[in-house]
């Protein structure tokens, strides 16, 4: 079977010269790759030092700094949880089931970095399961594309949470192939429709922590609003409201709900 050009999808045996991408090993015609005569000569050398990459691989390489930054954040999270585990073990207060719980929590947080939860999206109550699912996918894409540009193939799965009930719009869980896209969407989520709410996919431990902080915040703000919840280094904390930032602080709370 003849190899085909990954751009024009025609046989590489036609339309002149072609080269193989040094990363994904797919073939590209010289014309399709828009190579200059000088570049072609360099690539034809027996002991060439010039590398050749297709458009997709070049795009992936440009995203490496972002992926590295995300990896560093995850490493800090793992280090923090590991230190907590070591300290607890040194004080002989951690049982074997606690070890399993922390290990599970680390794994869950890493996996959920690729996910987003979307609320207040009208759920179709007619049509087949596939038709309703396709409607959800299109709605999610319409809102997410407003926040950042990304390849639709980066979405691995889209599904509703919980059992179907009439007149109830179940939240939608969206799983991406990487953590960069959800991060960019969250940064610009205010661009979406006011009714649509986009949040992180929190673990049970994170949800319980946030619930506890909100209860504590209600007590502290019983007489007047002096405290708020903010995320510091990825962790929710109760902090003082700065003068002149009362409106901003309430917005921060709603963003992190």
pLDDT, tens digit, 9 for 90 and up, residues 21-64: 888 888 888 888 888 888 888 887 877 777 888 877 877 776 77
Domain of residue 77: give its range.
Answer: 63-112
Residue 5 located in a structural domain: no
191 & 119 share domain: yes
Average pLDDT over residues 150-163: 92
Instruction: Judge whether 179 and 118 are in contact, CB under 8 Å.
Output: no
Give a yes or no: residue 177 inside a domain: yes
Is 189 found in the same domain as 151?
yes
Domain end point (choices 200, 220, 244): 200
**Cβ–Cβ under 8 Å, residues 43 and 65:** no
Select from 181, 200, 219 the last residue of a domain. Answer: 200
pLDDT at 113: 92
> Token pair of 133, please?
């699912």
CATH code of 189's domain? 3.30.70
């Amino acid at each position: 079977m003849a190899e085909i050009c990954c751009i024009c999808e025609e046989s590489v045996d036609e339309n002149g010269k072609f080269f193989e991408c040094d990363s994904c090993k797919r073939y590209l015609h010289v014309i399709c790759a828009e190579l200059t005569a000088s570049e072609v000569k360099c690539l034809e050398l027996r002991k060439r030092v010039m590398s050749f990459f297709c458009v997709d691989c070049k795009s992936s390489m440009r995203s490496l700094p972002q992926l590295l930054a995300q990896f560093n954040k995850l490493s800090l999270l793992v280090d923090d949880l590991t230190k907590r585990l070591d300290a607890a073990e040194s004080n002989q207060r951690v049982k074997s089931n606690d070890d399993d719980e922390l290990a599970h929590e680390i794994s869950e947080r890493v996996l959920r970095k690729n996910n987003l939860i979307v609320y207040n999206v009208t759920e179709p109550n007619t049509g087949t399961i596939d038709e309703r699912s396709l409607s959800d996918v299109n709605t999610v894409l319409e809102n997410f594309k407003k926040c950042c540009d990304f390849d639709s193939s980066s979405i691995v799965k889209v599904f509703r949470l919980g059992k179907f009930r009439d007149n109830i719009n179940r939240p939608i869980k969206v799983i991406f192939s990487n953590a960069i896209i959800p991060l960019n969407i969250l940064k610009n989520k205010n661009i979406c429709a006011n009714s649509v709410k986009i949040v992180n996919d929190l673990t049970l431990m994170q949800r319980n922590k946030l619930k506890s902080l909100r209860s504590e915040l209600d007590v502290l703000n019983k007489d007047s609003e002096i405290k708020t919840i903010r995320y510091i280094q990825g962790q929710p904390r109760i902090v003082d409201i700065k003068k002149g930032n009362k409106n901003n602080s309430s917005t921060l709370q709603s963003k992190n709900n």
